[in-house]
Amino acid sequence: MTAKKTDSVLFRAEATTADLLRAVTRVAAVTERRNTIPILGCVELAMGFGTIAVRGTDLDIEVRTEIEGTGESAVCLPACRLRDLLRAVSHVERVSFEADENGAVTMTAGEVTATMNSLPAIDFPNMTMGNKAWGASLAEGVLQFLIGGVSHAISREETRYYLNGICLEVKDGILIAVATDGHRLAKRETGLPAKTADQGNVIFPRKAAALAVQYAGKGEATITAHKGVAGDRVGFVEVIADGVRLRAKTIDGTFPDWRRVVPVASNTVIAIETKVLRRALKLSASSGYGMVRPTKFAFEADGVRVSSKDPDFGEARAKLGCEVSAKFDEFGLNGRYLDELAASMERIGSKTMRMHFTSPGAPLRIVPDEAIAGTLNVLMPMRV
C-alpha cells in the first residue's frame, strides 16, 4: 500500500488526541475495512489554516469534519488502523504525525510510536455536486424525528432497490419523509420556516440516513438537495450537523405513489397504551418463532384480546384494557413490525397507538396521541 510522496512538502500534523479520535471515528463509519480499492479504506487528513480536515468516502457517500490542529500538506491513512491506534493512546493528550520520503507516516503519542503506510491525498476521490435545488434548516431533534422516525420501514430487498432509502419531498411548504418495504409504511413531516416551492421527491439511501441520524442526534441540522453536475435532476443530498458534513448520492429510481396506499381515518379506532402493547407482544412472541408470526387482535367487551398461535409451540393470549370506539372483526398483524412501531411511538413521547380499522384484509392507519402531529404509519394485515 505504500506510495512515494508526490507533493513537494511532506505531511506533518499535530492535534488533540480526543478531537482526532472523535473525528476519525465518525468519518471511518462510511469506509469499508475490506475494499478492492485501497484508497477507499483510508481517511484523508488535510491541513488547513489551523485546522485538520478529516474525510472519508465509499464513492456513494462522503463524510467530512474539521478539528483544530497544526501542520502542513495532506495524506491518506488506513481508517480502521488509525482509529484503533488513536483509541489505544486516548489517555495521551496530544498526538503528532510525520511522513518520510517513502510515504510511511509515524504517529507519536507520549512514549508510543506507530508507523503506517499511506497513499497520496491527490488520489483521494472528490464528490462534486451541482447547483442547490432546495434546502431546509431543521431545529433541534427534527432531523432525528424525520429520518430516524421512518428508518425502521426502509426495505432491505435489493430487487426493489428504489425502496432501499427514504423518500424526501417538499409539498405545500412541508418537508415529508416516507419509507416503505411494501408491508409497512412510515411517514413523518415538518413545516418549513419559510414557504418553499414544491419539489419532486428524492430517495436518500439507507446507509446515509443512518449516519445522518447518528451525527445529528437531538441537535440542529441542515438538509439540502443538489442537482447532479449535468444539472438535469437532483442527484445528491447533503446533511450538515454537529460539525459533520455528509454528502450522499440519491438512489436513481422512482419511488412509488405512497399516497395511494394510505387509508383514510376510520370510525373504528383501537387506542392501546404502547407499554401495555409491547408487554403483550413479548408474551405472544413465546409462541413460536419470535414476533414474525401473526399476532391476532379480537374484540372484547372492555378491550381487546391479543394472541399468537403456533401448531408446534402452542398459543399465548393476553387481554388488554383499552379504548375501542366500535366492534371489529378479528385481524392479524406482524408482531415484530408492531413492536418496532410502538417503540418509535414511545421515542416521540406518545403513550398510545391509535389503530384505525376498516376490514380484516385492509391496511391499518396507525397514529400516535392526537397532540403529536406529523406522524402517520400504515401496516398491512396478516392472515390468521
CATH number, position 44? 3.10.150.10
Q: Is residue 220 domain-shared with residue 244, that is, in the same domain?
A: yes
- Distance between CA 42 and CA 58 in Å, rounded? 10
Q: Is residue 365 part of a domain?
A: yes
**pLDDT computed for residue 151 by the predictor:** 95
Q: Is residue 112 domain-shared with residue 142, that is, in the same domain?
A: no
Name beta bridge partners: 205.
165
Q: Is residue 99 domain-shared with residue 162, that is, in the same domain?
A: no
Q: Is residue 203 part of a domain?
A: yes
**pLDDT computed for residue 232 by the predictor:** 72
Model confidence pTM above 0.85: yes
**pLDDT computed for residue 200 by the predictor:** 83
Q: How many domains does the chain have?
A: 3
Q: Is residue 275 domain-shared with residue 238, that is, in the same domain?
A: no
**pLDDT computed for residue 302 by the predictor:** 84
- Distance between CA 76 and CA 79 in Å, rounded? 9
Q: Is residue 234 domain-shared with residue 319, that is, in the same domain?
A: no
- For residue 360, the one-letter residue type is P
Q: Is residue 244 domain-shared with residue 266, that is, in the same domain?
A: no
Q: Is residue 146 domain-shared with residue 157, that is, in the same domain?
A: yes
Q: Is residue 202 domain-shared with residue 240, that is, in the same domain?
A: yes
Q: Is residue 302 domain-shared with residue 374, that is, in the same domain?
A: yes
Which of these three, 236, 260, 284, is where a domain ends? 260
Matching residue, cell 439511501: 205
Q: Is residue 100 domain-shared with residue 217, that is, in the same domain?
A: no
Q: Is residue 35 domain-shared with residue 87, that is, in the same domain?
A: yes
**pLDDT computed for residue 287 by the predictor:** 54
CA triple 91-92-95, angle to 5 deg: 135
3-state secondary structure the chain: CCCCCCCCCCCEEEEEHHHHHHHHHHHHCCCCCCCCCHHHHEEEEEECCCEEEEEEECCCEEEEEEEECEEECEEEEEHHHHHHHHHHCCCCCEEEEEECCCCEEEEEECCEEEEEECECHHHCCCCCCCCEEEEEEECCCHHHHHHHHHHHHCCCCHHHHHHCEEEEEEECCEEEEEEECCCEEEEEEEECCCCCCCEEEEEEEHHHHHHHHHHHCCCCEEEEEEECCCCCCEEEEEEEECCEEEEEECCCCCCCCHHHHCCCCCCEEEEEEHHHHHHHHHHHHCCCCCCCCEEEEEEECCEEEEEEEECCCEEEEEEEECEECCCCCCEEEEHHHHHHHHHHHHHCCCCEEEEEECCCCCCEEEECCCCCCCEEEEECCECC
Q: Domain containing 239: what range? A: 132-260
Q: Distance of CA 315 to CAs 63, 129, 260, 295, 306, Å?
A: 49, 56, 36, 11, 11
**pLDDT computed for residue 199 by the predictor:** 85
- Distance between CA 245 and CA 56 in Å, rounded? 11
Q: What is the mean pLDDT of each run of 10 residues along the chain (384 residues)?
A: 55 97 96 86 95 96 97 96 96 96 94 95 93 91 95 93 95 94 95 78 95 95 89 88 96 93 93 92 63 80 84 78 92 90 93 94 94 94 83
**pLDDT computed for residue 308 by the predictor:** 82
Q: Is residue 304 domain-shared with residue 363, that is, in the same domain?
A: yes
